Chains A and B, each alone.
Chain A
Amino acid sequence: MIELQGLTKRYGDKTAVDHLTFTVRPGVVTGFLGPNGAGKSTTMRMLLGLDTPTSGDVRIDGKHYAQLSEPLKYIGALLDAKAIHGGRTAYNHLLCLAQSNRIPRRRVDEVLETVGLTAVAKKRSKGFSLGMGQRLGIAGALLGDPEILMFDEPVNGLDPEGIHWIRNLMKGLAAQGRTVFVSSHLMSEMALTADHLIVIGRGRLLADTSMSEFIERNSRSYVRVRTPQREQFKDAGSAAGLTLVESADGSFEVPGADAAALGELAARHQLVLHELSPQRASLEEAFMQLTAESVEYHAGGPGPVPAGGPWQPAGAPGQPAPPLPPGQVQPPVVQPPQPYQGQQGPPVPPSPYQQPYPGQQGQQGPPQQQPPYQPPGQPQWGAGWRDSGKRKGR
């Protein structure tokens, strides 16, 4: 359990972290999401006692980090992959960490095995790729078999196989009842791993919600209609009291409508339809809308972010999302296909980067896209040395 209470960090007159208050609970993967420069890393560094908060408090199982003796047995952290002396071998790097916290030497071999670095254990880590460095950092986090794990952007630099591995590792750790706190700036990545979501922007808390709730709240659904008889359709739609949004490519978007009802409406007016498809706006879009006002560094030109779209609080269910001006409905940035948009029209090829979110959404992708969920292959993980009498009372 990690508890933040009004945590604040200022550098001069710049506030990096602004009164953050939230709790990270055990048993689930908690995603920590925010655009670049939102204060995620600063928050994590304060958690580890590396940076001193300007004000506020952060506690791990009720204690400040500096009060933990042998902290690697409580909390393992991957801060950045290159927080490693490149001249030291992977084995020696882990050994010096293990020795400082009185973790037995054979745990070093165990974690090297877990992350798949046994073959390069005696190699100096400066020759490691980014992915290997990331794995070494993860090995360091797992070393003390801690109840709390914290990963800062763990998928950075990993190949698809590595991304898949770390996702399953995090889910497996959470399933064992551990606290898993993972930061990312990619909503799509979080949607696949996190059960709970904490979103910050410019150091402020924007959302603290379960993943499924976030998806429900933020995925704007609408029906896309394409017809050659545009004027007639517009009249018919207006007469039926529907809000029609014309998009740039000449199709209509009907927020909050039912596809079947729209088809029947068209039939009654004898209109030809070329497309009638229910759509859900991507989570990435929802995330960008949520953090639009707090993005630190905007790209030049007309950005993909709908300007000034404040996050709709949950208090207004049933109220259709406000129609957006044409051209801003779909971000020009081509998003990788989102498998949980199961009702989307054109079939999308399965992508190795995108596994369906295994949530309770009932909107999961086609079956062939769903890989079998495998818990990480570590049956007696950490059990060996813990119960062999070495464990100090704590």
Chain B
Amino acid sequence: MAATSAVLQSEWTKIRSVRSTVWTLALAFLVTLVLGAVICLVFNSQWDSMSTSDKLTFDPTNTSFFGMTLGQLALIVFGVLVFSSEYSTGMIRTSLAAVPQRGHFYLAKVAVAGLLALVVGMVTSFLTFFVGQALLGPHKAQIGDPGVLRAVFGAGLYMTLLVLLCVGAAAMLRSPMLGLGILMPFFFLVSPILSAVPKVKSVARYFPDQAGQKIMQVVPSSDDHTHYGPWGGILIMAIWVAAALLGGYLVLRNRDA
């Protein structure tokens, strides 16, 4: 068995030595932060024109994470490319010749991508929260308020899980075109649209992103009838992630490289 630390080190070298890593993660950070800040500014300036019910259910924490709807697309690209670039470049043959224990190789890759996403996700979520709250002025939430720390920490966790989901899906699909072509529209269009359609939305709320995003809510929205809480939601997402990672492993183990 190749030493675990050696393979982890190798995967770290791989991930840090390509430009796409820096670009996608920087983009995810910037888009989430800047878009969240802009939305907070808008709410702050339009506060007086909002209806009373809107004011009552206003969720300052979740509002500051509005930028994640776009920022997560960059995370999807990151997660997909981490794995599928091995296939699209042919590097997979060199990689597996160096580490023929495929489970080992896979775990190292998932661990490195997951850890990097966790660090970037946490930095992004905490910075986005504090910047957003500063711009909300009198309507801001405090990190010590009930459920707020959970929501901010959960946002970082959500970003990490999303990346892992994409890594697993990319390992199953192999081709970056296929991976991006399925995952981007799904998370950007299909899932948000289906979750707004009556009847269908009772199913759509179990989609990984819909369930996972629940953890970022501090004030439940008025039309919320989900049967799971914030941690239940993240657990549902984690199950999706586990399934994707397992599927990716089985494909990698059983198919010719």
A residues within 8 Å of B by Cβ?
A: 45, 48-52, 65-66, 68-72, 77, 79-80, 82-89, 92-93, 95-97, 99-102, 140
Closest to B14 in A: A96
Partner of A66, one of B95, B98, B100: B100
Q: A50-B97, A85-B18, A87-B18 are in contact. Are A99 and B90 (CB under 8 A)?
A: no
Partner of A49, one of B9, B17, B96: B96
B20 at the A/B interface (Cβ < 8 Å)? yes
Task: Please name the 4 residue pairs, one residue from A and one from B, whose CB atoms are nearest each other, closest first.
Answer: A100-B10, A92-B17, A83-B90, A96-B13
B111 at the A/B interface (Cβ < 8 Å)? no
Closest to A79 in B: B93
A293 to B: closest C-beta gap in Å: 28
Partner of B10, one of A49, A77, A86, A99: A99
A52 to B: closest C-beta gap in Å: 6
Question: How many angstroms between the C-alpha atoms of A247 and B6 in the bound complex?
Answer: 66
Question: How many angstroms between the C-alpha atoms of A219 and B149 in the bound complex?
Answer: 83
Given contacts A83-B94, A100-B9, 9 further A-B contacts (CB under 8 A): A45-B93, A51-B257, A71-B97, A85-B86, A92-B13, A95-B17, A96-B17, A100-B10, A100-B95
B243 to A: closest C-beta gap in Å: 25
B residues within 8 Å of A by Cβ?
A: 1-3, 6-7, 9-11, 13-14, 17-20, 85-86, 89-101, 256-257
A333 to B: closest C-beta gap in Å: 32
A247 to B: closest C-beta gap in Å: 47
Question: How many angstroms between the C-alpha atoms of A89 and B256 in the bound complex?
Answer: 27
Partner of B256, one of A51, A77, A83: A51
Are the C-beta atoms of B256 and A52 separated by less than 8 Å?
Answer: yes
Closest to A86 in B: B89
Are the C-beta atoms of A70 and B2 separated by less than 8 Å?
Answer: yes
Are the C-beta atoms of B256 and A95 separated by less than 8 Å?
Answer: no
Question: How many angstroms between the C-alpha atoms of A102 and B92 in the bound complex?
Answer: 19
* Residues of A contacting B86 in the complex (Cβ-Cβ under 8 angstroms): 85
* Residues of B contacting A50 in the complex (Cβ-Cβ under 8 angstroms): 93, 96-97, 256-257
Are the C-beta atoms of A140 and B94 separated by less than 8 Å?
Answer: yes
* Residues of B contacting A100 in the complex (Cβ-Cβ under 8 angstroms): 2, 6-7, 9-10, 95, 98-99
Which among A48, A70, A82, A85 has the greatest number of chain B C-beta atoms within 10 A?
A: A85
Are the C-beta atoms of B19 and A97 separated by less than 8 Å?
Answer: no
* Residues of B contacting A72 in the complex (Cβ-Cβ under 8 angstroms): 97-98
A53 to B: closest C-beta gap in Å: 10
* Residues of B contacting A101 in the complex (Cβ-Cβ under 8 angstroms): 2, 6, 98
The contact sample of 18 A-B pairs, CB cut-off 8 A, is A45-B93, A48-B97, A49-B100, A50-B97, A66-B101, A68-B100, A70-B2, A71-B100, A83-B90, A83-B94, A84-B89, A84-B90, A86-B89, A87-B18, A96-B11, A97-B98, A99-B6, A100-B99
Q: A51-B256, A52-B256, A92-B13 are in contact. Are A85 and B91 (CB under 8 A)?
A: yes
Are the C-beta atoms of B94 and A82 separated by less than 8 Å?
Answer: no
Are the C-beta atoms of B96 and A89 separated by less than 8 Å?
Answer: no
Are the C-beta atoms of B10 and A96 separated by less than 8 Å?
Answer: yes
Are the C-beta atoms of B13 and A95 separated by less than 8 Å?
Answer: yes
Question: How many angstroms between the C-alpha atoms of A359 and B194 in the bound complex?
Answer: 74
* Residues of B contacting A79 in the complex (Cβ-Cβ under 8 angstroms): 93-94, 97
Which among B9, B17, B94, B100 has the greatest number of chain A C-beta atoms within 10 A?
A: B94
Closest to B254 in A: A52
Closest to A66 in B: B100
Closest to B15 in A: A96
Question: How many angstroms between the C-alpha atoms of A92 and B21 in the bound complex?
Answer: 15
Are the C-beta atoms of A102 and B89 separated by less than 8 Å?
Answer: no
A297 to B: closest C-beta gap in Å: 23
* Residues of B contacting A85 in the complex (Cβ-Cβ under 8 angstroms): 14, 18, 85-86, 89, 91
Question: How many angstroms between the C-alpha atoms of A218 and B102 in the bound complex?
Answer: 45
Closest to A392 in B: B3
Question: How many angstroms between the C-alpha atoms of A77 and B99 in the bound complex?
Answer: 13
Are the C-beta atoms of A88 and B17 separated by less than 8 Å?
Answer: yes
A309 to B: closest C-beta gap in Å: 35
Are the C-beta atoms of B91 and A84 separated by less than 8 Å?
Answer: yes
A127 to B: closest C-beta gap in Å: 13
* Residues of B contacting A96 in the complex (Cβ-Cβ under 8 angstroms): 10-11, 13-14, 17
Are the C-beta atoms of A65 and B3 separated by less than 8 Å?
Answer: no
* Residues of A contacting B2 in the complex (Cβ-Cβ under 8 angstroms): 69-70, 100-101
B257 to A: closest C-beta gap in Å: 4
